[in-house]
Amino acid sequence: MSCLSKALERCGNETVAALESYIPRSGAHDSQLYEAMKYSLMAGGKRLRPFLVLTSAELFDIPKSQVLPVAAAIEMIHTYSLIHDDLPAMDNDDFRRGKPTCHKIFGEAIAILAGDALLTLAFQIISSPDMNIRDKVRAELIHEMALAAGGAGMVGGQTMDIVAENNHTPFNLDNIVEMQKRKTGALIKFSCLAGPILASDRGTKRRALENYAEKIGLAFQIADDLLDYEGDEKTLGKATRKDAAAGKATFVSLLGAEEARQNAEMMVSHAVSSLDIFGGKSNLLRDVAQYIIEREN
């Protein structure tokens, strides 16, 4: 097993343990809600965002006790977004990671509420005094996570996607880049900035990680578009070629598969170069940037 594989597994295990500790115990009337939350949180996945949180924080020697709550919170927000994206009113997917989606198991109403509960629990976690961080740092974490998750970030990007599809408005390349910086890239960017935020670093190291995050966020989405276009449904655990069937403009539809792949590789190259300031301490971040465009799911 490579160093990256070991690190991904370790961070994944740490994140799962943290997630399990935060899911409330259910009572007689809310058991379905917490079962739905746990079902989606524990459905597997790469845990890439928690990995970026934990690995970026290691660059600043932040104690794990301060970092794991942030890693758990960002995974909850990511999971909430997947639950809602899979709903019939959104992407209408029956499977996620090879398993029935939340609404197929628990119904649409409980799925919506499970997503809502995960989103608010994420903010409950990082606003808690138990994190033992300075109030100013806590406030910045909350502010930046809200920007990444809300209308200025992920939700805004999703809205751009839906409005374009409903209005049959074709996107050009600039439109897609802007949408994906928000829809996919915003949470990735926050994950990479968690370390410098916790360290109260506002200098060149923070800017380097910000540049890294922006580049791997775009590379991640290009890789997703390529997987939707040429990936295997069994390996992906979800339907493929949905974007083409819906007539959506993607990096692949506008650039072609080969040029899109070249663009992803260029993004990764720029991302890796921005980490030079950290030297050998950033090797895992360099490796995960390459992994993003080589993954099969």
φ/ψ of 184, rounded to 5, equals -105, -40
Q: Which residues does the chain have with pLDDT short of 70?
A: 1, 26-29, 235-240, 244-246
Residues 19-75: pLDDT tens digits?
999 988 766 667 899 999 999 999 988 999 999 999 999 999 999 999 999 999 999
pLDDT value at position 122? 98
pLDDT value at position 30? 78
CB-based burial label for 246 (10 Å; 0-12, 13-18, 19+): exposed
pLDDT value at position 236? 66
Which helix (H) or strand (E) is 159 found in, with range? helix 154-166
Count how many Cα atoms sit within 13 Å of the Cα of residue 189 in the half-sphere of its side chain.
23
How many degrees, rounded to 5, is the angle at CA 47 between CA 35 and CA 108?
35
pLDDT value at position 27? 66
CA distances from 273 to 193, 201, 222 (A): 17, 20, 19
Q: Which domain holds residue 155?
A: 3-23+31-294
Domain count within the chain? 1
Beta strand pairing call for 95-96 and 99-100: antiparallel
The CATH number of the domain where 167 resides is what?
Answer: 1.10.600.10
Model-level pTM? 0.94
Q: How far apart are CA 289 and CA 55, in angstroms?
A: 12
pLDDT value at position 166? 86
pLDDT value at position 20? 94
